[in-house]
Amino acid sequence: MKSRPIVLSILLLFIMHTAFAMPIDSGKYFTSANGVKIYYEVKGNGYPVVLIHGFTGTSQGWKLGKLYGDLLTAGYKVIMMDLPGNGRSDKPHTDAAYADNAEAKDIMGLVTALNIKSYDVVGYSRGSIIASSLMVMDKRVSKTVMGGMGDGYTDPQWPRRIHAYKSIMGDTSFHDVDAMMKYIHSEHFDNESLALQQKWQPSTSPQQLAKVRKPVLIIRGTEDKDNGSETALQKMIPSARLTYVPGDHVAAFRTRELSDAVLKFIK
């Protein structure tokens, strides 16, 4: 029987993926150091906030929640990109495009190209994993928000990641990801790219997190049981605070409460 948390995660993937069809405001392309052509959007003229989408998602998924519009209304510059392998960005089939924190480095490269000296970052689900890498790699990150994430990703051998990778590659023995695979097979994804994203998904160690001193906000839905323990993650980061918003992994992403919590934190 499929577990409810896995099904909820798949629903979130569907929401963020279908948002890809939404109208574009100001899309451009940036070529990373690895030669990957990456789609991005920038809107607004205030302090920069980078939004990072989740697995199989795109930048457009943020437009379905409250946060994107609220950030613009509050006067921030909002920066979003389709991570490599997703949306309108290239979908390379090479390890180098994803290994060694390549996705975080791509974001850093875009930030440099935009001549940004300081910024805040907000990730949700897998986007929080990339945001975690950014906050330990890039001194320009001022504040970090990690939504929909617990401590699971801090384990380099996280079973969820390994099972997802092997299942996408064709191994049918890991039934804890059956719902994920059913969703992936129902869409027209580039599966090799998805597999590489899971193969090289970064983990930030507890030792690295213990050195973080800049402000961090962890946001979890009250019914969100995915991705490990949020309280354990908070204990790993000395500067982290934890807040809850209504809903499961899917519903929490879109709530007014999540948007309000982020805006209060970064203000």
pLDDT tens digits, residue range 219-236? 999 999 889 999 999 999
Average pLDDT over residues 141-166: 97
Query: Structure tokens of 237?
Result: 């980061």
User: Which CATH superfamily, name and number, covers 4-266?
Assistant: Alpha/Beta hydrolase fold, catalytic domain (3.40.50.1820)
Which phi and psi (to 5°) does residue 80 adopt? -135, 150
pLDDT at 252 over 80: yes
Using one digit for the tens of pLDDT, what is the confidence trace for 4-26? 444 445 445 544 444 444 444 56
Single-letter amino acid code for the residue at 106: D
Dihedral angle over CA of 67, 101, 84, 11, nearest 10: -50
Q: What pLDDT is stored for residue 137 in this prediction? A: 98
- Residue 206, helix vs strand vs coil: helix
Q: What pLDDT is stored for residue 6 in this prediction? A: 47
Q: What pLDDT is stored for residue 180 in this prediction? A: 85
- Angle separating helix axes 102-113 and 126-137, nearest 10 degrees: 70
Q: What pLDDT is stored for residue 20 in this prediction? A: 40
Listed residue (83, 95, 97, 89) closest to 128, CA to CA: 83
Using one digit for the tens of pLDDT, what is the confidence trace for 157-178? 999 999 999 999 999 999 988 8
The single residue listed with the structure tokens 């929490």 is 252
Q: Are strands 37-43 and 141-147 parallel, antiparallel or unpaired?
A: unpaired
Reported residue count of the chain is 267
Q: What pLDDT is stored for residue 26 in this prediction? A: 63
Distance CA 95, CA 84 (A): 12
Q: What pLDDT is stored for residue 179 in this prediction? A: 84
Average pLDDT over residues 57-69: 96
Domain spans, the chain:
4-266
pLDDT at 96 over 80: yes
Average pLDDT over residues 234-249: 97
Higher-pLDDT residue of 13, 120: 120
- Residue 100, helix vs strand vs coil: coil
